[in-house]
């Protein structure tokens, strides 16, 4: 760990100057306590750095949570092994999953699935649903949809050749819309009070105001939507895997965790609003998930409870190149080679997800050695993404 200053602690050995400067600006906000923790996968974000843990007293920065509220990972270890997959055409399973779950930005279910109905009812009973209804009236149809970018569904094998089902997604269009509304409100709130900011996306809401309360209500609703969205998708992945292998899936282990969210937590003896923007909670003994990128390993981990990191760890590999730069830099031929042996979408649309567009996941995990303990290393054999 590198102590950049009293307000900024850093675990990233790969850290470009622009990302460091952005983190320093965020850490200088007057309500940061005790310090901002920069994770090994840190890279430039909107306002606040992706891969940062931001504790605040009496205020919250909506953009420090991000627009995909509640984004995270879910994984299930099954009873199957590599032997059960041997000799089978995994592109068939890829197709089954792709047809069962709406992929890509803007895609959603045509109707509410039976498995989703109790989850929709739970969300309708929560405070915050009026905001969701006003933002995206058809949000129930979004429950159980993946999205695009680095959101992914994978079938993987661990170090013992056991089959895992693994997915990454968040609160979809409704979460994005809610976040965008409250980011604008924070900017308006600061502007109306003459508060000068070094970055307009560091606009904040003060605790005790109606604007703050409305954001917390929307935030908690969207975080729950994201969690249930992953559950709904996993139910479908489990179902399709069972159909493919003609045997009911047994869930031996299950992990479901956010990595874009805010919770009320206690650190260094004081209660704070802790925003993890691209980071997972890593309290002692707590299970978590750290994905790599296309064609690389992902990890099932257990937290070490590192106090200086605010009991957090990285959420993935972290980008090395922007999506635009990646599309210019990498070739389809190279991506095909990197994905050899994996059933995937075979599309130029995924060039910006090339493994080398991200930091080396092995280095990220080495940097995180005092934050988490690796329990399982996963390598994908099926990779389903939306373009």
Q: Which of 168, 99, 178 is nearest to 135 (CA)?
A: 178
> Could you give the residue numbers annotated as active site?
315
Of 134, 316, 165, 133, whose CA–CA distance to 230 is shortest? 165
Work out whether strand 260-267 and strand 270-277 pair parallel, antiparallel, or are unpaired. Answer: antiparallel
What span, in angstroms and rounded, lies between the C-alpha atoms of 71 and 169? 5
3-state secondary structure the chain: CEEEECCEEECCCCCCHHHHHHHHHHHCCCCECCCEEEEEEEECCCCCCEEEEEEECCEECHHHHCCCCCCEEEEEEEEEEHHHHCCCCHHHHHHHHHHHCCCCCCCCCCCCCHHHHHHHHHHHCCCCHHHHHHHCCCHHHHCCCCCCCCCEEEEEECCCCEEEEEEEECCHHHHHHHHHHHHHHHHHHHHHCCCCCCCHHHCCEECCCHHHHHHHHHHHHHHHHHHHHHHHHHHHHHHHHHHHHCCCCCCCEEEEEECEEEEEEEECCEEEEEEEECEEECCCCCEEEECCCCCCEEEEEEECCCCCCCCEEECCCCECCCHHHHHHHCCHHHHHHHCCCCECCCCHHHHHHCHHHECCHHHHHHHCCCCEEEEEEEEEEEEEECC
Residues constituting the chain: 387
Pull the structure tokens for residue 332.
Answer: 């389809």
d(CA 300, CA 291): 8
> For residue 369, what are the contacts with CB-CB under 8 A and spacing of at least 6?
none
Cα separation, 138 vs 77, whole angstroms: 33
């Amino acid at each position: 760990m590198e102590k950049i200053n009293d307000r900024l602690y850093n675990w990233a050995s790969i850290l470009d100057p622009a990302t460091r400067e952005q983190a320093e600006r965020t850490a200088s906000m007057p309500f940061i306590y005790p310090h901002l923790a920069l994770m090994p996968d840190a890279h430039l974000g909107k306002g606040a750095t992706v891969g940062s843990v931001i504790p605040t007293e009496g205020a919250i920065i909506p953009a420090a949570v991000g627009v995909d509220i509640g984004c995270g990972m879910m994984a299930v270890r099954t009873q199957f092994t590599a032997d059960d997959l041997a000799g089978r055409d995994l592109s068939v399973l890829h197709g089954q999953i792709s047809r069962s779950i709406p992929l890509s930005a803007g895609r959603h279910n045509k109707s509410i699935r039976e498995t989703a109905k109790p989850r929709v009812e739970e969300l309708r009973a929560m405070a915050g649903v009026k905001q969701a209804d006003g933002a995206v009236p058809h949000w129930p149809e979004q429950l159980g949809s993946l999205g695009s970018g680095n959101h992914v569904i994978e079938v993987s094998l661990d170090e013992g050749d056991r089959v895992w089902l693994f997915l990454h997604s968040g609160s979809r269009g409704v979460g994005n819309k809610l976040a965008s509304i409250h980011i604008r409100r924070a900017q308006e709130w600061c502007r109306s009070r003459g508060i000068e900011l070094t970055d307009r996306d560091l606009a904040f809401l003060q605790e005790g105001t109606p604007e703050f309360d409305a954001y917390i209500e929307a935030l908690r609703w969207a975080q729950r939507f994201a969690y249930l969205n992953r559950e709904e998708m996993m139910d479908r992945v489990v179902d399709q895997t069972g159909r493919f292998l003609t045997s009911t899936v047994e869930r031996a282990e299950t992990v479901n965790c956010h990595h874009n969210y805010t919770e009320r937590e206690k650190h260094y003896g004081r209660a704070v609003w802790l925003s993890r923007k691209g980071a997972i909670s890593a309290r002692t003994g707590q299970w978590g998930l750290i994905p790599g990128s296309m064609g690389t390993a992902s990890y099932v981990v257990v937290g070490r409870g590192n106090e200086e990191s605010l009991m957090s760890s990285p959420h993935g590999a972290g980008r090395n190149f922007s999506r635009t730069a990646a599309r210019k830099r990498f070739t389809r031929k190279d991506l095909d080679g990197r994905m050899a042996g994996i059933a995937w979408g075979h599309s130029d649309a995924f060039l910006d997800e090339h493994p080398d567009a991200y930091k080396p996941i092995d280095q990220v995990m080495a940097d995180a050695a005092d934050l988490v303990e690796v329990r399982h290393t996963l390598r994908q054999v099926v990779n389903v993404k939306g373009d």
